[in-house]
Each structure stands twice: as structure tokens, then as C-alpha cells.
Amino acid sequence: MITTMKKLILSVLLLLSVSVLLAQSKLETFLKGQPEIKSVEEISGNDFFTATYKVMIEQAIDHDNPENGTFLQRVFIADKSADAPVVFITEGYSGAYAGIPRYINELSPMLGANQVCVEHRFFGESWPDPVDWDELTVQNAAADQHKVAQLLKKYYTGKWISTGISKGGQTVVYHRWLFPDDVDASVAYVCPLNFGVEDGRHEPFIANVPGTPELRQRIVDFQLEILKNRETLLPKLDSLCRQKNYTFRINMNEVLDYCVLEYPFALWQWGNMIDQIPEKDAGLDALFQHLMIVSGPSYFAVEGQESIKSFFVQAARELGYYGYDTKPFQDYLSIKSARNYLETIFLPADLRIKYNRKTAKQVEKFIKKTNAKILFIYGEWDPWSASGFEVPQKENFLKIVKPKGSHATRIKNLPDDQKLQVKEKLEKWLDMEVSID
């Protein structure tokens, strides 16, 4: 009896193993049979999936002029089953994290879904050679994602849900604007819609919205205390930068200025050190160390910019960015103004870009007119919410703002009542059960 039961269990396990191997083999065979896919590599992935692959897909450098050459774009495909939904991550930066074995997007287990992460062009391993910055556009990036979606829809037959965080959230909406039928629904996290290189809405937001008036004043007092003690703290900053081998396009006095100006944005963006702001009498060492943790010089260093330099090109051209309020500190700054700091500090040498406001205005118009199924998620105290999408009251839109939330706001850390809203909306949109713990 026991022997028979063991044989039965072994037979079932063997059948399950064979089924998994056949599914893997079927997907791998499909991927290797697509002429646009130039390499297929199975990698270790999260156990939620049956197999995970890193593939390199050939893309046109300029989709309007495909004869101008191609490059290879990195895409990670984590497979559940051919008929399961697909979580389509339209990454705004490098997609390297999707190659980490433990990685899983929060939507994948909620939907029982496959997972496809598309690395953004001009990031990570997805670079043309030579680099032509003129081809780093919203339109070309969306066309990259469209090609990936159309290619993989030959295999995956379930519902498609695009998603992305921050710049990736912007990418979600831009892709939806240009290719509205590629996906069935979208979840865009903490994404701005900026209307200028220095949009202008973030500075008054920081001065008036997050926390309490007393806390906001404490932040200003901290910034002033740093600047008033410039002569003492500047050698510390210079020593730290030499130790780290940082180089800059601005002088060290200006580096200190910008660390101080960036401080409240960085502090509120992540919201995890609000209760650790030192009092003015804590001593200069404590104040300096806190500044370096929250808003250190690496952000402004040439070396720190290397992996995201493409972002600053996009911000200058179409995506926009934020400015700094210098008025409370003008008596203590070494700079006369922080205007045009993006070009001064961050853009590749000798690259001059004229901002194209038309892109953001067209996307704004799209959001006003469309009834696409898009869920926007924001944190109340995240400075990026100052330029968040204005979402009309329509059946197929939902905007969730987490109370006191930061840029780290996700479905899994929403309050229960907001989780329920998300669950109900996704279930209605996708006509399936959604599991949100």
C-alpha cells in the first residue's frame, strides 16, 4: 500500500516536472524563432515563475527612419503560462533589477501574471553605437515598447497590464498615449507630468504642503545653519569628495549650495528621515553627517550621473524637472541663482537642448479626452505629486493619494480602504479576481 502510494506521488511529480519543462521549452522555442530576438538566455528567477529569460531584441534607432540602423534592447521575461495575464513593465531607466533572482513586481502575484520588463533605450545594456542623443525621444521609446508588446502577444494571450514607477510611470502614460491598444489597463506609480525644465510647482509645494508648519520651518533652519557655517563645513565636504574621487562641473562652494537646496526635496521624496533632522544645537558634525546622508554630493558628481545621464537629457528635452527656491537662503549662497542648473551640472558636455513643451501638453490633452483604464498612485508628501497628473472624474480613471505617503508609495503599503478601491477597480477592468493582501 505504502509502495503504491509512493509510486503514485512520484508519477504525479514527474508529470508536473515534465509539464513545466515542456512549457519552458515551448516559450524558449518561440523566443528563439523570432528574427527580431538576437539572443535568449535563461537566468535564475523568482520561484513564482516557471522560467525567466533575458533576451536582446533588435530595435530601430529611429522608428520613423528604420534604415538609419538598429540597436539591441534588453528585455526580461518571467513566464507563468501562455494564457495568464502579462505585467508589462515599461521601465524608465535600466532594467537590471529584473535580472535579480528574487525580483517580482507587486502586481504579478496579485494577478497571477507573467512579467515582462523592458529596459528603456539609452540605459543599462540598451545603447546604440554611436550614441545620437537626438534619437532619445518619448516617441522612439514608446515605439520600442510597442514592438516588444506586439512581438510577445504572439505567445501570451491573456490581459496586458502596463506599469512603471516614477519615470517608468511617465513611460507608462506616454506609451498609452501613442499606442493605446497595446494593453488592457495601466498602473502608473508616483509619476509627474512636468511642463518645464524647472516646472515651478515643486518649490511652493515643499514650502507649504508636507508635514506641519513647524516641521517645514525646522527644515529651513537646518539648511540655514549649514550655509551659515560654510567656512567650517566646506573643508569637510572637500575632503569627503576627494576621498570618494568625485569630480564636478561646478566648484566646491557651489556643490555645498546645491546639496543644501536639494535637501528638502530629497527628504520629503523618501520620507524616511523626517524624524532625524538634527536641532541647530546638535553640533556641526551631526548636521553635516545628516546632510550627507539625505542630500550628499554624489548626485551632483560626474561619477554619480554616469548611469542616469540619459535621464537628464530626457528631462531637458521633453520630461521636465524641478527647480530650487533660493529666496530664503540668498544671503548665504555662493550662487546668484539656481536657474538652468540642469544644463550647468548634469547635461553631457557641449550638449545643448531646447525643451519641447508640446509633448507634455499633448499627453495632458490625451488624459482629458481618453477613457483608457489607468490607475494613478501617489504619495501625499512626495514632492513629485506637485506635478502629478490631473485625473478627470471618469469611470475608467482612478487616482489614489496615500496620506503622508512618499515616493515609495505602492499598492502593498496603501491603507486598507485604498487597497480595496484598487482591488475593485482592477477586478472591474480586467474581469478577474485580484488578490491584494
Q: How far apart are the first and last CA of the chain?
A: 41
> Which helix (DSSP H) or strand (DSSP E) does residue 88 occupy?
strand 86-90
Alpha-carbon span 119 to 117, nearest angstrom: 6
The answer to whether residues 435 and 420 touch, using CB atoms and an 8 Å cutoff, is no
State the chain's mean pLDDT as an integer. 94
Alpha-carbon span 76 to 56, nearest angstrom: 9
- Give the pLDDT score at 20: 52
The answer to whether residues 186 and 163 touch, using CB atoms and an 8 Å cutoff, is yes
- Give the pLDDT score at 395: 85
DSSP 164: E
- Give the pLDDT score at 11: 57
Q: For the domain with range 30-193+359-430, which CATH number is right: 3.40.50.1820, 2.60.40.10, 3.20.20.20, 1.10.357.10?
A: 3.40.50.1820
The answer to whether residues 149 and 182 touch, using CB atoms and an 8 Å cutoff, is yes
- Give the pLDDT score at 324: 98
Percent of the chain whose predicted confidence (pLDDT) is above 90: 89
Give start-end residues of each CATH 3.40.50.1820 domain in the chain.
30-193+359-430
69 — pLDDT class (breaks 50, 70, 90): very high
DSSP 374: E
2 — pLDDT class (breaks 50, 70, 90): low
The answer to whether residues 1 and 7 touch, using CB atoms and an 8 Å cutoff, is no
Which of residues 274 and 161 earns the better pLDDT score? 161
Alpha-carbon span 175 to 143, nearest angstrom: 8
pLDDT in tens, 311-341: 999 999 999 999 999 999 999 999 999 999 9
Rounded alpha-carbon distances, angstroms, from residue 431 to 86, 107, 376, 426: 14, 15, 19, 8
The answer to whether residues 372 and 345 touch, using CB atoms and an 8 Å cutoff, is no
Alpha-carbon span 425 to 259, nearest angstrom: 41
The answer to whether residues 373 and 388 touch, using CB atoms and an 8 Å cutoff, is no
- Give the pLDDT score at 280: 83
pTM above 0.85, yes or no: yes
- Give the pLDDT score at 348: 83
- Give the pLDDT score at 393: 87
Mean pLDDT, rounded, for 104-125: 98
Give the contacts of 78 (CB within 8 A, at least 6 positions apart): 45, 46, 48, 49, 51, 52, 98, 104, 108, 114, 115, 116, 117
Which of residues 306 and 325 earns the better pLDDT score? 325
- Give the pLDDT score at 272: 84
- Give the pLDDT score at 18: 52
- Give the pLDDT score at 159: 98
> What order of strands is seen across the sheet that includes strand 86-90?
37-43, 51-60, 70-79, 114-118, 86-90, 160-165, 185-189, 374-379, 397-402
pLDDT in tens, 76-112: 999 999 999 999 999 999 999 999 999 999 999 999 9
pLDDT in tens, 380-429: 999 999 999 999 988 889 999 999 999 999 999 999 999 999 999 999 99
Alpha-carbon span 172 to 165, nearest angstrom: 9
Mean pLDDT, rounded, for 331-355: 93
32: cell is 528563439
349 — pLDDT class (breaks 50, 70, 90): confident
Q: At residue 19, does pLDDT exceed 70?
A: no
